[in-house]
Structure 1
């Protein structure tokens, strides 16, 4: 859709594109668009990753480029960008303008169209916020994070060379370098892996953390369940379920036994998705 046809916008940081954000988008209507204010702190859905979770076009503004604008100047900027603008949708905690001195209650002073303020969204009595999702990811509560997100937490990156013992002594893995994302608590996860260029999601077991049993280096390793994967340049991982913490084993045989157990648990968890 051409931006010239946009008549409603939702404004915010929208890191995570979570359930609370989606409530704002529901108020946009057919000719809506999303205005993302980039603060430099987005690490759940950095940059254009947000576009995976909406059908609306997204326009990005860097906070550094607009932080000097007073309230009226900011709204005038948006009205110029969207000449047919009739509606602005924001969250209850929205602030804007220089030093964030204006709130949603001030929008009507600068904008003569409709202002829709969306109340706090809660799940199981807990309010949904990006900082809470980050906290859940950092303690390994991936199920809780996914519940707030409304989708599986996803990271993507380029394929890098591993330590060389996986396929030979343990199991074959795709080793990833994922820049710009918040990485989960160190441990093993049931996950879904997508190889760049493919639509198919591969059931997998993913390890995130320091290889404390072998070389001690930090790694993100995905083992695809029941499939041989050829050479690839990039992949993404969707985390489904936390299986266990990272731990040190006394031997490669003990590690291999633990990996086989991880695989069995991951298969059980992922099979539930298809029931």
Structure 2
């Protein structure tokens, strides 16, 4: 904190293209200050750090919400003693009941306050709540366009039903905690295993296994390899293939999965991560 000269302040759930404009404005000596509300589910917790090279610091909302504008600036000045510049979005508010705004920052901060204007694509403003809404209807392409990257979740490998490898196609079951999951269905994805640097083309199912045991699962079939002993998986969503549905038997389910795999192979051949 001692050498930081500029900070971008916000909730930064999603680290989307609008947020990136704030990060660009702080420069190489800058940092990101996350006001952690506990509601982030696009990039929860330290997942944000995957999408910026800047150092990231965190204030828990409950520890600062009692501060007025003068107290908030005093805290920043104490913890960032070389601070010369604050960067915020056009709709930034802070303090109890969000009662303080940009004018209050300028009134109490002796340095520069830079405000980044609204970022829009085709006249549609970029906001985290819109990204969530797109994911909830399976529009991962639309969500990715606002994010500036493929929406990604990660988690630990967990035991599955055991049906995949025996009766269908081998899958990795993942325990995804804290992330918003897209609409139930099947997706073209890329998967990164453990500490590998590259991603593998994959097809991923999210939802209740209505044809078999009815339980909820996030499971991924890797297209180009037999998966060995792994612990963690990152899943990046590329496109929606089909909604979740119940099949009459395992043979019909297997045929549908084979079609899903063919679509994923075709689509991922055009892409790379």
Give the deviation of 1:5 after TM superposition.
1.2
1:101/1:124 CA distance change after superposition, 3 Å = same
Give the deviation of 1:107 after TM superposition.
1.1
SS at match of 2:41: coil
Give the deviation of 1:233 after TM superposition.
1.3
Q: Contact between 2:119 and 2:125, CA under 8 Å: does it hold in 1?
A: yes
Q: CA RMSD in A?
A: 1.0
Asked whether 1:82 is paired with 2:63, we answer: no
Partner of 2:230: 232
Give the deviation of 1:269 after TM superposition.
1.1
Give the deviation of 1:4 after TM superposition.
1.4
Q: Contact between 1:71 and 1:98, CA under 8 Å: does it hold in 2?
A: no
Query: 97, 100, 111: which one pairs with 1:99?
Result: 97
Pairs within 5 Å for 1:50-129:
50-129=48-127
Q: Contact between 1:190 and 1:241, CA under 8 Å: does it hold in 2?
A: yes
SS at match of 1:4: coil
Superposed CA offset, 1:213-265 (max 9, x none): 11100000000003101011111101111111001111111010000100010
Pairs within 5 Å for 1:196-211:
196-211=194-209
Partner of 2:271: 273
Superposed CA offset, 1:58-87 (max 9, x none): 110000111101111011101111111010
Query: 26, 37, 57: which one pairs with 1:39?
Result: 37
Whole-angstrom CA distance in 1 between matches of 2:9 and 2:224: 44
Asked whether 1:222 is paired with 2:220, we answer: yes
Alignment gaps of 5+ in structure 1: none
Asked whether 1:186 is paired with 2:202, we answer: no
Aligned length: 273
Superposed CA offset, 1:42-101 (max 9, x none): 000001100000000011000011110111101110111111101000000000122211
Partner of 2:161: 163
SS at match of 1:148: helix
What TM-score does the superposition give when structure 2 sets the normalisation length?
Answer: 0.98
What TM-score does the superposition give when structure 1 sets the normalisation length?
Answer: 0.98
Whole-angstrom CA distance in 1 between matches of 2:244 and 2:223: 20
Q: Contact between 1:43 and 1:180, CA under 8 Å: does it hold in 2?
A: yes
Partner of 2:9: 11
SS at match of 2:118: coil
Query: 140, 143, 156: which one pairs with 2:141?
Result: 143
Q: Contact between 2:154 and 2:233, CA under 8 Å: does it hold in 1?
A: yes
After TM superposition, where is structure 1 displaced by more than 3 Å over at least 4 residues in a row? none
Whole-angstrom CA distance in 2 between matches of 1:30 and 1:266: 39
Partner of 1:242: 240
